[in-house]
Amino acid sequence: MAPRPLAPGAGLDADHWAEQELGGAPLGDVRLSRRLVRCAQVQARAPQASFPGAAQSDRALVKGYYRLVDRPDDSQVTPRRILAPHRARTLQRMQQAGRVLCVLDGTELNFADHPGCAGLGLIGRNRGAEGTRGLHMHSLLVLDAQGMPLGAPHIQYDTHHGGRTARWQEGLQACAALAAELEGVRPVAVMDREADIFTLFRQPRDQGTYDLLVRSQHDRALGPDQPRLWATLARGAAQARQTIAVPCKGADRHAEPVTLYGLLVQEDSPPPGVKPLVWRLPATVPVTCEADAVQVPAWYRLRWRIEDWHRVLKTGCRVEYLGHRTGDRLERAVTMQAVIAWRLLALTLLGRETPELPAAFLFTALEIQVLRDLARYRNWEVPATLGTTVMTLARLGGHLARNHDPPPGPTTLWEGYSRLGERVAAYETLRDLQQLTGT
């Protein structure tokens, strides 16, 4: 049975999002599942703070958090089980979206400053002979065709620097598993040059449930006595022109060939002295007309969303400052934070793409009251919709909101969200004091 369709922002308000996305996780004890929801809700109010800081040193909350994270290595509290409810909700959003992109990428979590932490591996050599210790996180972020993040249903961790083919294969298997549970939805797996590995192109052909879009790294042979891939693409006539905004910035030699479509995306008017941008994009997605030639590079451009999400996780949620003593404990804590980071990224884009929605779609009544009081005090526009409320939150985080400024990004919003949490806590404390004193 296909999942029940769900709109991208449904159930993401501050009061209910944690229960919706993490509630009922199969952790072996219902008390642990409830604790996960409560801990995520508390941490999300102050994403940059340590958990004791977010909990304002509430001893019961802090003790519950460590009882959740500091489980034995054979505990049922695993990243996959923590993500199970979020994965189910992601499937519902995928069913609603229709065309979806499964963006795969990895990032290194540097815990070199945790010398006593067991279960870490070598993730780099930039610290000399001893290397850099940490975890490699390889994940899947689902987007709709407009780039709205629908969920992060798959995260895997490694403790070694190698094994890149296996990571991509496992990620594609996760994509195939999602596709198998959907009805009438064929995801496109989007990956960067590191995934230009011949064996990966065979997987969608063999499984038949998703397509593949990769940026080319290798100038591959197309067949005996034929020109190579890059020369063939360069000889083709231009099918379309489009302005694309970009961020600043051996074993299969004799394997059976696979049939792919290829696109060459090349900047035709680069700034003086700047090398033109060139993307060579092999894909299993059919490209047979101008509309296809425009659409496929637009999908690849959205690959940067996963880098935005990783940045929110590492810089906004500061997961590399977690102080747990084993790799397993770090994985549990990072997984919970990954869902928080996904919600922060979704909040950023929902405020931009659906500004006409009511503010209560993502904010509690008290959060709205605090932001409206702040706007009146600062002589800003008093927020009335989701878009203006998110803008007020961004201004609290340092966004200047001048006419020529770009829309606020996740950096200013997570800063604003942390400051909003502090103000909401102050309001709650003042309200409790007034009730106690009768004033």
In angstroms, the CA 338 to CA 384 distance is: 30
pLDDT at residue 216 tops 80: no
Stretch(es) of the chain classified as CATH 1.10.740.10: 354-437
What average pLDDT does the segment 146-154 reach? 96
339 close to 42: Cβ distance less than 8 angstroms: no
Single pTM value for the model:
0.86
In three-state secondary structure terms, 339 is helix
CA angle 163, 138, 350 (to 5 degrees): 160
Q: Which residues of 66-94 are buried (b: 16+ CB within 10 A; e: fewer)?
A: eebbbbeeebebbbebbbbbbbbbbbbbb
According to CATH, the topology of domain 354-437 is Transferase Inhibitor Protein From Tn5; Chain A, domain2 (1.10.740)
Per-residue pLDDT band for 143 (boundaries 50, 70, 90) equals very high
Q: Which residue has the higher pLDDT, 409 or 148?
A: 148
Q: Which residue has the higher pLDDT, 157 or 230?
A: 157
pLDDT at residue 223 tops 60: no
* pLDDT, tens digit (0-9, with 9 covering 90-100), for 407-431: 898 888 888 988 998 898 888 888 8
Q: Which residue has the higher pLDDT, 139 or 239?
A: 139
Summary mean pLDDT of the chain? 86
Q: Looking at the chain, how many residues does it have?
A: 439
Per-residue pLDDT band for 279 (boundaries 50, 70, 90) equals confident
* pLDDT, tens digit (0-9, with 9 covering 90-100), for 15-60: 899 999 999 999 999 999 999 999 999 999 888 899 999 998 899 9
Q: What's the burial of 24, exposed, middle or buried (CB within 10 Å: 0-12/13-18/19+)?
A: middle
Alpha carbon separation from 67 to 36, 114, 143, 172, 325 (Å, rounded):
10, 21, 34, 33, 13
